[in-house]
Structures are given as C-alpha cells and as structure tokens.
Chains A and B, each alone.
Chain A
Amino acid sequence: LNQSSSEICPAFKTYKKRWIWIFFSPVSSSGALRWKDCLQQKASEAFLRQQAAAPNLRKLVYGSVAEAGDSGEDEEEELGGLFRVSRPQKSKKFTANSLDCSRFDPETSHNWDGEEMLNSIRDCFVTGKWEEGQDAA
C-alpha cells in the first residue's frame, strides 16, 4: 500500500501514521474514504510547508547560546544524592562515532531523467538564458 506513495514524496512518512489511524478507526461515515483523494497533492503541500518553515540556519548551526551554556550542569543531576540519571542518547551521540568523510551525498537525490529537473539548471550554463546587461562576450 505504502511503497509507491513514499517514493512520490518524503512527507508521506509523517502522514503515514495518521492515515493508518484513520484507516483502522471504528468511525465509519460516508466520508471515510475521502482521505484518499488527492493524496499526492496533500503530501506535496505538507512538504512545501515544512520547507518554507525551515529553521533559521544560524540557529541550526550554532544552536542558541543559552543552551550551550547550561548543558554542563544537567549531566551531573542526581536522584536522592545516590543515583545518576541515565538519559537516553541524544541524537548528536549517534553521529559521534560515524564515518569521518567530507562527501555530501544527499539521501534523496533528484530524478535527473525528467525534463523538469533538467530545466531547473539550464541557466547555470553559458548556453542558458543570460541576465540583462550581461552577454556571452
């Protein structure tokens, strides 16, 4: 059921849970199957929304300054002065011992067989359209 849809759009994954919930929910009304309408469109809208709300890059890179300051105190937290709180590994820890490589391979590469994708970079070449005030000479 899900294989083809997840290829269409990465945002499908976040929607999947809700769909399954709807699918198995006991409520059955005339609109029960309407969620299937224009799934691709909904998914792509959700994806675009997520893209538009991309967090401030500076925050992504450096984090907020306050956060970096007090992270040291939390680690020494103790319960009843006897046990240390064992926290689940933060996401950062998962990458701490992964491969040290400068290559940047995107997980989802664009489909370069389609004309649409090829057109999206046409103007990067001298054969593409030139801005006003510039020319090949």
Chain B
Amino acid sequence: MASHGLDYDGCNFFRQRLVLSTLSGKRVKIKNIRSRDDNPGLRDFEASFIRLLDKVTNGSRIEINQTGTVLFYQPGLLNGGSVEHDCNPQRSIGYYLEALLMLAPFMKNSLKATLKGVTNDPVDPTVDLLKSTALPLMKKFGIDGEGFDLKVVKRGMAPGGGGEVLFTCPVRRTIRPVQLTDPGKIKRIRGVAYSVRVSPQMANRIVESTRAVLNQFIPDIYIFTDHMKGANSGKSPGFGLTLVAETLSGSFFSAEMSSTPQGQGDPILPEDLGRNCAKLLLEEIHRGGCVDSPNQSLALLLMTLGQQDVSKVLLGPLSPYTIEFLRHIRDFFQIMFKIEVQKPLEDERKGGDKVLMTCVGVGYSNINKTLK
C-alpha cells in the first residue's frame, strides 16, 4: 500500500496531509474534496497553499482533476531559500505559516519567507500568536540561533489584507528529544493590543478591560499597544488582542481575539473583546499542559521526528485537530504515542485533566542539509 501512497477523503486536515507527505516522502491522494458541495473542489486559499508548497520544494508533482475534487501530490525535495508568496486573503497568513513552521527546519537552505496577505483574522492563529508561542516551543527542540525570527512588517486585517510578514528559520540536521512534563507556575502575562485604521484609543480601551480580569491572579501584566499607521496599516480597519502567559519553566499559554472583519457580522466593543480574550486565556490555563492548544500538533511532530530517544510532553485535552494529526502521524511515520491521562490531585487547584504523551522519535535526519 505504501508504494501507492496514501488515500484520504475530503478537504479537512488538508495542510497536515501535505506537510506530512512532504516530510515522509510518501505520495498522497485526496479524493472527494467538497464533492457534494454546490461549489465543489478546492478553494482559492487551498490552491494558494499548494503554490506555496511548490515554491519551497523542488520537483514536486501536483495533479488536480478538472473539477478540483481530486488532488494527487508527489512530494519533491525541500529546498527552501528565499521565497515570496501572496497568501490568498480568504485565510490569514497564520494558516500558511503553521505549515511552514513544520517544514522550515528540514529544508536544504535556511528559509527566508516573505508572506503577504491577512496577518490577523478571527479564524486562524494570528502571526503575533505564533511568534510568541510557536517560536519558543521550537527553540526547546534545538531549533534556534541566528536568524530564527518572525516579524510583522505590515499589519493587514481581514478581509482586505495588505499585511506582510518576514519569517526566517535556520536548518537543523537532527531534532533534540525533549522532556516537558512540568509546566511550572505562571510568572507573567504579556500581550499585544493592536489597532489599524481605527482610533489608537481602541487599543488602550482593550488593555484596561483585560487587566481588570487578569489582575485577580497576578500583578505582572504588561500589554503593549501597537498602532501601525500609513503604508504599514493594510487595507482594512480593525483591532485585536493577543495574550501570552509565561511560566517559570518557559511554557506559554496563549489566547487571542480579533474584531469582526468589516462588513461581516456584528461589530464588537473593544472592552468586550478585552474581557472575553482574558477569559479565553483563563480557559487555556485551565486546560494547561506544557504546550498550548494551537501548538499541540507542532510539538507532536517535532517529537516524532526527533532522534531515537524517548520524548515526553504534557498536554492539555487533545483538540480534534490534534487527534487527527496523531492518526496521520501513524499513517505516515508508523509512530503511535503512549497516551496517559493525569487527573489533578484532590486539593490541587491547577485546572482540568492533563494528557502525558510519550513516544520514541523516528531518528529523522535532514538529508537535504549540506554538510560543511
């Protein structure tokens, strides 16, 4: 079966499948993509994602049928280097970046990607969130050093976009196994309240209402206000907030909210946005673990691709996306995780059940990387 590649149905978990296919070198065929929909086939943002994948690889073969309901993908070598891509504004740059974060360490040349499009929308993890949670997580797996950076050059809110992000990542030959079993206590909360093409006062209003909720727990809160102007402010107005709680052992919990995109649904008051976002952060802290929920799959992938040694990571409840990712890892790499539920102790006030994930890495080494 493996020689014919893997077969899947439907457009959900699209990125996971293509990313794991690229890393494992296995061909993948996705059928019935919105085949019963009034508007069948791949959407523009998925086509845009495939084009991005084509840019960072060399020799990939992509075949799509006429209606776009069947996709065949034969991965090439991960080349990397300088890449510039206009991300389709139907999804924010976070959608594309999540996949790039997974691929970047395994490229032949270190990646320098300029992504243009929507930097912040309410659907996907925003660039600000990934910058403050995914990057520190990857550093724990030994991916760091000079030129590991994610920078918001221009901010562009949904639906217009017009933002720009610069992502640079060094390459690694092997990934370090990790033991992240103690999340530690939260020592501080940081955040960014951003606003573009609206009154800069919006950001201040967000900050005030957020602090009112979080000050019940900890005094060390600092929320930056970021108001970009002129050419750096994109095409649509909007505002939002990203909150990150940092623990003593260097784990991060995050939450975020963006204003409703212009012309789509009811507008939201900055005060409400701040309060609700603070509550989302509390929810994330309640879930707990050493990795927050949007980054669970990234952590599990790096564990899988680590050297042949035991990796352990404590997570909060597994999200549906992560559960499907685990199944895909089994399909592509034949790795099954040991999953243990840890119930909180009787008198402990540390949120809900946690899940301890254990696996032995496949000993993946980056054959593309040139030896110096």
Question: Given contacts A110-B286, A112-B279, is CB(A96)–CB(B12) below 8 Å?
Answer: yes
Interface of A is mostly: loop
User: A101 near B318 (CB under 8 angstroms)?
Assistant: no
* With known contacts A57-B318, A122-B217, A125-B217, A109–B279 Cβ distance under 8 A: yes
Q: Are A61 and B327 in contact (CB under 8 A)?
A: yes
> Could you tell me if A96 and B283 are in contact, using CB atoms closer than 8 angstroms?
no
Among B185, B248, B320, which residue has its beta carbon within 8 angstroms of that of A104? B320
Taking a contact as CB atoms under 8 Å apart, the answer to whether A97 and B11 are in contact is yes
Q: A54, A61, A120: which contacts B351 (Cβ < 8 A)?
A: A120
The reply to whether A97 and B34 form a contact with Cβ atoms under 8 Å apart is yes
The listed residue with most A CB atoms (<10 A of its CB), out of B125, B185, B213, B286, is B185
A17 at interface by CB-CB < 8 Å: no
Q: Are A58 and B339 in contact (CB under 8 A)?
A: yes
What are the interface flags for A98-120 relative to B under an 8 Å C-beta threshold, 1 for contact and 0 otherwise?
A: 11111110100110100001111
Task: Write the nearest CB–CB distance from A56 to chain B, whole angstroms.
Answer: 8
Total inter-chain residue pairs, C-beta < 8 Å: 124
Q: Are A103 and B279 in contact (CB under 8 A)?
A: no
User: Which of A100, A109, A123 contacts B283, CB < 8 Å?
Assistant: A109
A61 touches B12 (CB 8 A): no
Q: Which of A97, A122, A125 contacts B37 (CB 8 A)?
A: A97
Within 8 A of A (CB), among B288-309: 288, 293-294, 297
- Residues of A in contact, count (CB < 8 Å): 35
Number of residues from B at the complex interface, CB < 8 A: 55
Whether, in the assembled complex, B61 has its beta carbon less than 8 Å from a beta carbon of chain A, the answer is no
CB distance from A69 to the nearest CB of B (A): 12
Contacts of A88 in B (CB 8 A): none
List, in ascending order, chain B residues with CB within 8 A of A66's CB: none
B166 at the interface (CB under 8 A from A): no
In the assembled complex, the Cα of A11 lies from the Cα of B291 at a distance in Å of 30
Known contacts A112-B283, A119-B349, A126-B218, A101 near B293 by CB under 8 Å: no
Which residues 7-44 of B sit at the A interface, judged by CB distance below 8 A?
Answer: 9-15, 32-34, 36-37
Please report A residues at the B interface, Cβ cutoff 8 Å. 54, 57-58, 60-62, 93, 95-104, 106, 109-110, 112, 117-130
A to B CB contacts below 8 Å, 7 in the list: A61-B323, A61-B339, A102-B98, A103-B123, A120-B286, A121-B217, A123-B349
Q: 13 new A-B pairs (CB below 8 Å) besides A62-B330, A102-B297, A121-B217? A: A57-B355, A58-B338, A61-B326, A100-B11, A103-B124, A104-B294, A109-B283, A118-B216, A121-B286, A121-B349, A121-B351, A123-B185, A130-B185
